[in-house]
Structure 1
Amino acid sequence: MIITGRKGIAKPGLLADAIGFTSNIVQTMNQKFGVDFSVSVEVGGDPNAMYLTGRFDSMSDYQDFRLSYLSDEEMSSAFSEGANYADVVEDRLGEILIPMGEPQAFAQVNSIQAISTNQPAAMEFFAQICGLFKEITGKDLGLGRMLTGDNSQVAFVGSHESLQEIYDLEAACLADERWLSLYSQSEGLIVPNSLVVGFRQRII
């Protein structure tokens, strides 16, 4: 599966307007083109950050969508109007290697960078992390790799019902010796101090 990610920063004082505008655009886009885009906001980080995420079965499907919406005057006009509410700061393409399960109200998105010379071994290690997480918690932990930008970067993505669930699952992992042993096993595979933890709340 191909994932598209766009990060926007709402202009000061316009977060609610930006969320409302973006949500309307996404609902129209999903209906018009038969695609699956969602909108989420950052929790515990940048208070004005928003994320527009799309899911496609293949790169061909994504290409077809791009050609359709770029030639659609209504969509072009709407995206131009969106500049009044927020600034787009990043676009990324990624590939899902291990599914995360069905989207829920909250997501934890942890990005980390592999040491490029050991990337194949690092990817095996990341898959091991996903498997152990499910053994400990019973929940799926997705794994994605970046197709654009720094492709030594990967993301672990989990879907959750609440922030409390995220907290409780992390506590369960930290109480397990197998999980704690992963820290020493990561040496030589992960760029030190590259882990960035993010929480997101789904709007639509």
Structure 2
Amino acid sequence: MYVTSRLLRVSSGAAMPQAVGFVAWLLAHLNDTHHTQFSAGVNVGGDPGVIGVTGRFESLADYQAFIGALAEDAEYRGALGLSGPLFAGAEDTIWRVRLASDDMDPTLGFSAVDSVRIDLAHMVDAVAFAAECREVVTSITGRPSALVTAVTGARDRLLWVGHASSLAELEQARTELEADEKYLELFKRSEGLFREGSLETVIWQRVFPA
């Protein structure tokens, strides 16, 4: 499976409500017309000026077919012409889902994305270790996450993506992890596999589908 992501930079804080409404309308059109699985969210506790859009595709061939279909979608092309004042830029990435999870449900209200930068000289070992980390976290919290690596852009990016129905659920999982010695031991064992200081967490709140 592959996930596409687009980070939309909103032109101003005042434009955010209209931008969210526009994105929700456009994604509803795409999902209804092209039978895609797009969702969107806003950043919580981080950058307040971006909207994140993600889509799920079984293969890159499916994604290519979708891109081709957009060229024939007059309503989509017309909408893009109206969106200029709302956005100041965009950044796209294609991700490969190396390990999915039963909990990989974009309809849940919140997503926690833990990202790290791999030392590419040890990429195979780093991805294998990341998969082990995923299993340890699941055993502690009971919440499986998806393991994702970048196909486009900086190839050293690796993500663990988990979903929850509330911020409280995300915080509970973090509390359980930080109290577990097996989890804390993973940080010591990761030396040399990931860039020092590169671990970051971003939380997204779903705004579409509502």
The alignment's TM-score, normalised by the length of structure 1, stands at 0.97
CA distance in 2, matches of 1:120, 1:181: 20
Please, which moves more after superposition, 68-77 or 13-22?
68-77
C-alpha contact 1:41 1:51 (8 A) present in aligned 2: yes
Partner of 2:182: 178
C-alpha contact 1:2 1:56 (8 A) present in aligned 2: yes
The alignment's TM-score, normalised by the length of structure 2, stands at 0.94
Partner of 1:119: 123
Q: Percent identity among equivalent residues?
A: 29
Partner of 2:29: 28
CA distance in 2, matches of 1:83, 1:195: 34
Partner of 2:58: 57
* Residue 129 (str. 1) matches residue 129 (str. 2): no
Q: Tell me how far 1:89 sits from its aligned partner.
A: 2.7
Unmatched 5+ stretches in structure 1: none
1:158 to 147, 157, 162: 162
Where in structure 1 do 4 or more consecutive aligned residues deviate above 6 Å? Answer: none
Q: Tell me how far 1:81 sits from its aligned partner.
A: 1.6
Name the SS of the counterpart of 2:69 in structure 1: helix
CA distance in 1, matches of 2:180, 2:199: 20
Partner of 1:106: 110
CA distance in 2, matches of 1:166, 1:188: 28
Q: Tell me how far 1:84 sits from its aligned partner.
A: 1.7
Name the SS of the counterpart of 1:14 in structure 2: helix
Unmatched 5+ stretches in structure 2: none
Partner of 1:148: 152
CA distance in 2, matches of 1:87, 1:27: 22
CA distance in 1, matches of 2:114, 2:143: 16
CA distance in 2, matches of 1:180, 1:51: 30
Aligned length: 204
CA distance in 2, matches of 1:70, 1:49: 26
Please give the root-mean-square deviation of Cα atoms over the aligned residues, in Å: 0.9
